[in-house]
Amino acid sequence: MKLDLSCPTCGSDDIMKNGTTRRGKQNHKCRDCGRQFVEDPQWKPKDKDIIALVNLLLLEKIPLAGIVKTVGVSASWLQNYVNKYYQACRAASRSSAKSQREADGSNG
């Protein structure tokens, strides 16, 4: 069963329970980066508005440090998000390049 939590370091949702702290709080561990953390009420999943804003700023080629300040996300979360974002962009541009070549052929 997946826990409804994200890793505060890498943003992964592959989280497992890892016993409790001395204070009796549930402790968790990220399977991706090994980070251990206690569920933090201040840590909230990014909502759609935040994601939309980050996408917009990335399109405007705002430096990551600027996005961190503007949106208020953590630099590590943003770096992880950007990696996924550019992977998706590369996949999209590969398929559009293919359809452009087909269009050029019909014009020739």
**Contacting residues toward Zn ion, per CB under 5 A:** 7, 9-10, 12, 30, 32-33, 35
Angle between helices 64-71 and 75-107 (to 10 degrees): 120
Task: Choose between 18 and 62: whose C-beta lies nearer to Zn ion.
Answer: 18
Residue 73: left (phi > 0), alpha (psi -120 to 50), or beta?
beta
Could you tell me the smallest distance in angstroms from the CB atom of residue 17 to Zn ion?
15
Amino acid at 38: V
Task: Choose between 42 and 107: whose C-beta lies nearer to Zn ion.
Answer: 42
Could you tell me the smallest distance in angstroms from the CB atom of residue 42 to Zn ion?
17
What does the block give as tokens for 58?
């990335």
Task: Choose between 46 and 57: whose C-beta lies nearer to Zn ion.
Answer: 46
Could you tell me the smallest distance in angstroms from the CB atom of residue 9 to Zn ion?
5
Could you tell me the smallest distance in angstroms from the CB atom of residue 99 to Zn ion?
37
Distance in angstroms (rounded) separating the CA atoms of residues 32 and 34? 6
Task: Choose between 30 and 78: whose C-beta lies nearer to Zn ion.
Answer: 30
Distance in angstroms (rounded) separating the CA atoms of residues 66 and 29? 30
